[in-house]
């Protein structure tokens, strides 16, 4: 795959990931708690860790070719860490001082749990396919 194909793969993956993220936010619109961002970052943490763990053990062939599309592209467009920071500030601005640290604590804990579980799942899948 040449450099332009990598760029195209990342761009297409980003567009799909960002579109799915936007649809998720519309689906959960109207809540006083930023559920969409929390959900997307948990799923995104799991997905990127699972794929990275799987791909790191299968360095040749099709899996290696999908890395730019899935990791930098789709997962990068799908997850919303920058939005997480902004929403946390909005909770403070709305004088929901008690809710902001809860949101940060839940988010970070579940993102790390998602990444850990995804990593374990990807490793098991890679070993099962040998």
Per-residue pLDDT band at 67 (split at 50, 70, 90): confident
* Rounded Cα–Cα distance for residues 2 and 84 (Å): 34
pTM above 0.85, yes or no: no
Q: Is residue 61's pLDDT more than 80?
A: no
Average pLDDT, rounded, for the chain: 89
Pick from 58-72, 83-97, 115-129: least confident: 58-72
124: left (phi over 0), alpha (psi -120 to 50) or beta: alpha
Mean pLDDT, rounded, for 5-31: 92
Pick from 17-31, 45-59, 111-125 the range whose average pLDDT is largest.
111-125
């Amino acid at each position: 795959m040449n450099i332009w194909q990598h760029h195209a793969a990342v761009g297409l993956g980003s567009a799909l990931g960002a579109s799915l993220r936007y649809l998720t936010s519309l689906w959960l619109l109207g809540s006083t708690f930023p559920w969409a961002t929390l959900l997307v970052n948990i799923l995104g943490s799991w997905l990127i860790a699972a794929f990275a763990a799987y791909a790191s053990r299968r360095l040749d062939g099709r899996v290696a070719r999908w890395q730019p599309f899935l990791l930098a592209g789709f997962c990068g467009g799908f997850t919303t860490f920058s939005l997480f920071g902004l929403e946390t500030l909005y909770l403070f601005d709305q004088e929901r001082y008690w809710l902001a640290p809860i949101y940060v604590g839940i988010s970070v804990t579940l993102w790390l749990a998602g990444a850990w579980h995804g990593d374990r799942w990807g490793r098991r899948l890679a070993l099962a396919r040998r």
